[in-house]
Structure 1
Amino acid sequence: MLRRLYDWTMSLAARKSAEVWLAVIAFVESSVFLVPADVLYLPMALARPDRAYRYALVATLASVLGGIAGWLLGYYAYETLAKPILEMYGKLDAFEQLRGSTSADAILLLLVTSGLAHLPPIKVVTILSGAAAINIWLFIASAIIARGARFFFLAWLLRRYGEPIRHFIEKRLGLIASAAAAVLILLYALFHYYV
């Protein structure tokens, strides 16, 4: 099933309506969808490097709006809507554990790491943020920074290095983003426990 979703998303990049689909995928990725917007963003930006930053802006805005939808889902409809979605993805147990033991600061850190590196999946953190009643304005600011940094950094790489960087990104982006997330977590821990 995941492979079919991935192939379908990739086929959207070739359509004239690709920019609209990018916005749709980025929006639903932040609240309920499995496939990250990157799989549509990357081929679009490679096909039209002159529009890489425009696509980054579309993906960022739509992703933040999707994150707000996820927050609202967690805040207003956790029991009726969010819980079944998390159960469907097999994330309910992990979510409940996070919800019960995580501070607001840690949830915001998770938002940044998931926005940059998809660790944990962004949809889980947006719903968690709403269920934990994280301040919506702080949530929005964090989402803009995290998602914007990801998409605009990819746009810069693609504009500067073109096709060769695509292969590097596709093979190592998870590792690079995970390393960046680990550094953020380490800095948070050092700041929180030693300062």
Structure 2
Amino acid sequence: MRFFSRLLDRLWAAAASRGAVRMLLLVSFTESVFFPLPPDLLLIPMALAARERALRLAAICLAASVAGGVAGYFVGMFFMDVAGMPIVRFYGLQEQYHAVKEWYDAYSAWAVAVAGLTPVPYKLCTLTAGAFRIDFITFLLASVASRGLRFFVIAGLIYLFGERVRYFLERRFDLVLLVTLVLGVLGFMALKFLN
């Protein structure tokens, strides 16, 4: 717990620095391929520091994250053996790799939407989506929908409620992601039903 607390303190300090937006872009992009920390950890303090920019920061986060997802997709498609599998092994995600294959068999690229909203490593889904040749447009739409929902819910809460959200998110971050996941799944089910 002490490590997590120190890490959060460093992220709060980084969020106030001059290069914070560039750092948010870099973290959002690389987290989609190989970096271990989610961009939410920077988005939250940056949005709290400038509430009027919260939605703009979420859009930056989304754009960089989806761009990273596209990079991960093509790494998986063309370089899975050389670059993708070493990343999977580095994070000890071999079992999850096979589970994601089953998700794709059952749900196509919409499995990416689940990963985009939950603590399931998004990088695993971007790499495997390319490796398993999931339809690129569906992959892209699922990524935009899930990552957008995740980042804009966080930014929207901060925009509306400010500092009170900081303490709630620090203590209940997993709960926020779970609620977002449930809402996302209900949204996808509604879209499927309407079609």
Q: TM-score, normalised by structure 2?
A: 0.85
- Residues 1:98 and 1:171: Cα distance change in structure 2 (over 3 Å): same
CA spacing shift, 1:161–1:5, aligned 2, 3 Å: closer
Among residues 71, 84, 97, which one is paired with 1:95 in the alignment?
97
Partner of 1:34: 36
2:19 matched to 1:17? yes
The question of whether the paired residues in 1 share the 8 Å contact of 2:109 and 2:135 is answered with no
Aligned in 2, Cα 1:151/1:98: closer, same or farther, shift over 3 Å? closer
CA deviation after TM superposition for structure 1 residue 51, in Å: 0.8
- 2:59 is matched with 57
Q: Which residue of 2 aligns with 1:84?
A: 86
> What is the letter of the counterpart of residue 64 of structure 1?
V
The one-letter code sitting in structure 1 at the alignment partner of 2:82 is T
Structure 2 stretches lacking a partner, 5+ long: none
- Name structure 1 gaps, 5 residues minimum: none
Pairwise CA RMSD:
2.7
- Deviating above 4 A after TM superposition, structure 1's stretches of 4 or more consecutive aligned residues are 1-10, 182-189
Following superposition, the deviation at residue 105 of structure 1 comes to 5.2
Q: Are residues 160 and 74 of structure 1, via their aligned partners in 2, closer, same or farther at CA, if it must alter by over 3 Å?
A: same
TM-score normalised to structure 1 length: 0.85
Residue aligning to 2:72 = 70
Q: Distance in 2 between matches of 1:188 and 1:149?
A: 12
Say yes or no: does 1:144 pair with 2:144: yes
Structure 1 pair 127/7, CA: closer, same or farther in 2 (3 Å)? farther
Residues 19, 183 of structure 1: CA spacing in aligned structure 2 closer, same or farther, 3 A cutoff? closer
- Match for residue 156 of structure 2? 156
Cα distance change, pair 32–10 in 1 and its aligned pair in 2 (3 A): farther
| Structure 2 CA distance for aligned equivalents of residues 173 and 8 of structure 1 | 18
Letter in 1 for 2:54: A
Whether the 8 Å contact between 2:149 and 2:180 is mirrored in structure 1 is no
Distance in 1 separating the partners of 2:5 and 2:88: 20
C-alpha distance after superposition, 1:56-84 (max 9, x if no partner): 11000000001001111111111000001
- 2:170 alignment counterpart: 170
Q: State the alpha-carbon separation in 2 of the partners of residues 14 and 95 from structure 1.
A: 37
Find the aligned partners of 2:6 and 2:163 in 1 and give their Cα distance. Answer: 25
How many corresponding residue pairs? 190
**How high is the sequence identity, in percent, across the aligned residues?**
31
List per-residue Cα deviations over 1:87-128 (Å, max 9, x = no partner). 0100023203432x333552533311221222x111111111
